[in-house]
Chains A and B, each alone.
Chain A
Amino acid sequence: MSGFFDAALVESIVRALIPVLFAALGALLCDRAGVFNIALEGQLLIGCFGAVAGSYFTGSAVVGVIAAVLAASVFSLILSYGSVTRKAEPIVLGVAMNILAVGITSFLIDAVFHVRGVFQDPAIAGLHHFAIPGLVRIPWIGPALFNLTILGYLGLLLVPATSIVLFRTPLGMRLRGVGERPLAAETLGVSPASYQYGAVTASGVLCGLAGAQLALGNVVQFAENMSAGRGWIAVVAVMLAKDKPYATLGAALLFGSTEAIGFRLQGEGLAVQITDAAPYVVTLIALLFAARSFRRQRAAATVA
């Protein structure tokens, strides 16, 4: 076990972190706008499928990414139309969308690629890793942080970007206002619906990117239900982080680490069932702790 915590582990932590981070930033925006989005898991899975299909048919990873973004954001319209326009309960919609996503992708993998379970093909172009000269040679963090796919860098940069947009631009201020007091925003001529549509669509775009990173970066394949709970974990991550971008990065890091360490322990001979369960156990524990402060937050928000 002496070499258990090594550079390769740090690298796999970052790799596991990126998709969760994208999805979590999407959840954060939705939450801030007042739409509780638990459809991330489904959006992510649709993104994975779009990425693989786009890349396979054109031989271009870039087209794969675009296809992923389009597919996931179109899919997210179900949530915005349902919960914003039709005023349906977003939780019910989200659950339905997650089930729908598994169904659609399982059906399509069979109908389009004529395989079951996993689709792997040399014709699927994966995302390149770009090493940043010099920096990549920093021990431990160099290979982990400076040898990422474009999406990897983008994901990390989106954390400060989200923070700036949210807290320092009029756009972010209005988004926060809409989520907190939609009626007040409306009296000032800010339409909650358009901001909520925007936030949900942004979460679609981000889940598309997450899916592309997962299916064209972390691995190069599509597997049934390959999102494997990451969308759920993203939901919990933002709850833990109380909708703050940097804290969301921290929470995503916690879950990325659990996944990577679990994976490593598998290599050490620990039962797969246990290591697979690890992220969910961490999720449960985190939720138990978050629930209290979450409730307090809600109570404070309604009283004020």
Chain B
Amino acid sequence: MLAVEMRHITKRFPGVLADDDVSFDVRQGEIHALMGENGAGKSVLMSILSGLYRPDSGEILVDGRPVKFASPLDAIGAGIGMVFQSFKLFPSLTVAENVVFREEPTRHGLYDKRAAAAIVTQIAERYGLAVDPAAVTGSLPVGVLQRVEIIKALYRKAKVLILDEPTAVLTPQETDRLFEVLRSLQADGHTIILITHKMREVMAISERVTVLRDGRVVARLNTAETTGEEITRLMTGRDIDLEQSPPKSAPGAPVLEVSGLTCRQAGQKPAVDNVSLTVRAGEIVGIAGVAGNGQSELAEAIAGLRAADAGTVRIAGTDVTAGSVKVRRAAGLSYIPEDRHAVGTAPDADVASNLAMGHHRRPPLLQHGLLKRARLADFAQRLVDRFGIKVAGTGVLARTLSGGNLQKIVVARELDYASPLLIAEQPTRGVDIGAIAAIHKEIADYRDGGGGVLLISAELSEILSLSGRILVMFEGRIVADLEAAATNEAELGLLMAGGELAGAGKEAQS
């Protein structure tokens, strides 16, 4: 019995054929993985199924009956709910208000806060989705926001739940919890469509896989009968090796020296607590930690986006403690921020401008105080080619790009500075496996070219394969300083949770 069947779906945007005659079906009660490289058309296909976009041609059947969705409301009416790649929540409203929005319980014409809270609590408990109904969503971490989105869909009686890269923003622990939730939803008769780039997850949780490539279906597989290598080959047309070569030379002079850095926050423990660290030319230092333990704040404080309350920061020998972002960049900083939408790119500017940001201050893009349009276009095209960014042209607006391609724009721009220091925060979040390999190679090349990298990532495998040294952050402090070659995921996981290594206490507190 098919829960959903999409037949011959085609969707075209100006200059892009996002989905090309795609037929896709999902069985009742299964967890179905949808895979493909960045820009393959996964999000667009699911946006069509959830009523956000209308297909140019093709038809959709739900429980065997043909349906036409004019809006997301129609889709939810047919029992299809989607958790979008970028959440659709109202930051100033509470969790309960976000869940019941437009289907509010009322009492005497007024919004019934208590009933709403009860509804949320009931759904939350049933599927193990811990949330506080009264919390204002704007202040919540992404992991919780995601649960809110799931509860929102369930409150609207979704039988088919679509999750677009839900694990891209989660820590491994949160991912495990999410998968428990998904299994309990499945046990309760729900059907789940999961988009992800992580092979491990697909293998762990899905029953079937559909692979898209350049807007076309290239394979429908039973997970049990395939391997990660086979799926990768289907997605990219080649084999991908994520192993990185070790550094070619020993670390050189320090490019980043942080000493005693502290960022307080009102009424709470300091976000960054007396952190000292050094990154040398030609080395990659990884920071491991469960999200929310001060890694982002540390990166922001080094980049000059957050004021530090104490401590000093030196970039390539220059004391920039009191300097602005511009001063720090001039001293030799480049920065891949965690949030590519709000911080990393300007959504309403075109791809060329987004790639040129910062580079516009100096030749060859700037000459005699004026920007050279032609050079800007060449420059952008060069980066697009080098990093394999999939766009119709460098003139398209950044907001129309798929998530992974947007990430590549930020990475390409920052790496091209070739400055002494790179802070890379979640550099491969949401990018496909081929692109991960490419970005890792670029970062390793950057290191071999004499650059120093501070790598912050929720992916332990990423930290382990790239870094020479690994620092573990817990509650704002650096609790361990380890040689990457001498440690492993299990050990890091223990330290990240605040534990201590048996008989290795000497390594903590550097």
Which residues of chain A have a CB within 8 Å of any CB of chain B?
Answer: 164, 168-170, 173-174, 176-177, 180-181, 183-190, 300-304
Contact = CB atoms under 8 A, between A and B. Distances in A.
Interface stretch (B32-40, B106-114, B186-194, B420-428): B106-114
B138 A304 contact: yes
Interface stretch (B5-13, B90-98, B275-283): B90-98
B102 interface: yes
A300 B72 CA distance: 28
B52 interface: yes
Q: Which 8 A-B pairs have the closest CB atoms?
A: A189-B73, A304-B91, A184-B88, A304-B138, A170-B104, A187-B72, A177-B90, A188-B102
Interface in B380-427: none
B138 A300 contact: yes
Contacts of A184: 88-90
Contacts of B339: 303
Contact of B111 (A170, A177, A189, A303): A170
B504 interface: no
A259 B218 CA distance: 73
Interface of B: 50, 52, 71-73, 76, 84, 88-93, 97, 101-102, 104, 106, 109-111, 137-138, 339, 342-343
Nearest to B136: A304
Given A176-B90, A184-B88, A189 B104 contact: no
A183 B110 CA distance: 25
Nearest to B84: A187
B109 A188 contact: no
A301 to B, nearest CB: 7
A194 B35 CA distance: 38
B138 A181 contact: no
Given A168-B110, A181-B89, A187-B52, A173 B73 contact: no
Contacts, number: 67
A155 B264 CA distance: 45
Given A186-B72, A303-B339, A174 B91 contact: no
13 contacts: A168-B110, A174-B102, A181-B91, A183-B88, A186-B71, A187-B52, A187-B84, A187-B88, A188-B72, A188-B102, A189-B72, A189-B102, A300-B138
Contacts of B104: 170, 173
A176 B93 contact: yes
Given A186-B71, A301-B92, 11 more contacts: A170-B102, A170-B106, A173-B93, A173-B97, A177-B93, A187-B84, A188-B88, A189-B71, A189-B72, A190-B101, A301-B91
A181 B101 contact: no
Nearest to B74: A189
Contacts of A164: 110
Contacts of A187: 50, 52, 72, 84, 88
Contacts of B72: 186-189
B390 to A, nearest CB: 24
A220 B349 CA distance: 53
Given A186-B72, A187-B88, A177 B101 contact: yes
B79 to A, nearest CB: 15
Given A168-B111, A170-B111, A190 B102 contact: yes
A300 B71 CA distance: 30
B342 A169 contact: no
Contacts of A173: 93, 97, 101, 104, 111
A186 B111 CA distance: 20
Contacts of A185: 90, 101
A169 B73 CA distance: 21
Given A168-B110, A302-B342, A188 B101 contact: yes
Residue in A177, A189, A302 with the greatest tally of chain B CB atoms within 10 Å: A189
Residue in B72, B90, B93, B138 with the greatest tally of chain A CB atoms within 10 Å: B90
B347 to A, nearest CB: 10
Nearest to B113: A168
A198 to B, nearest CB: 15
A287 to B, nearest CB: 23
B88 A174 contact: no
A243 to B, nearest CB: 10
Nearest to A190: B102
Contacts of A170: 102, 104, 106, 111
A219 to B, nearest CB: 39
Contact of A174 (B52, B92, B101, B137): B101
A183 B52 CA distance: 10
B307 to A, nearest CB: 13
A168 B106 CA distance: 10
Contacts of B93: 173, 176-177, 180
Nearest to B89: A184
Nearest to A301: B91
Contacts of B71: 186, 189
B91 A180 contact: yes
B92 A180 contact: yes
B218 to A, nearest CB: 30
A183 B101 CA distance: 13
A72 B120 CA distance: 43
Contacts of A188: 72-73, 88, 101-102
A303 B305 CA distance: 13
A133 B241 CA distance: 88
A180 B72 CA distance: 19
Contacts of B138: 300, 304
B215 to A, nearest CB: 23
A169 B102 contact: no
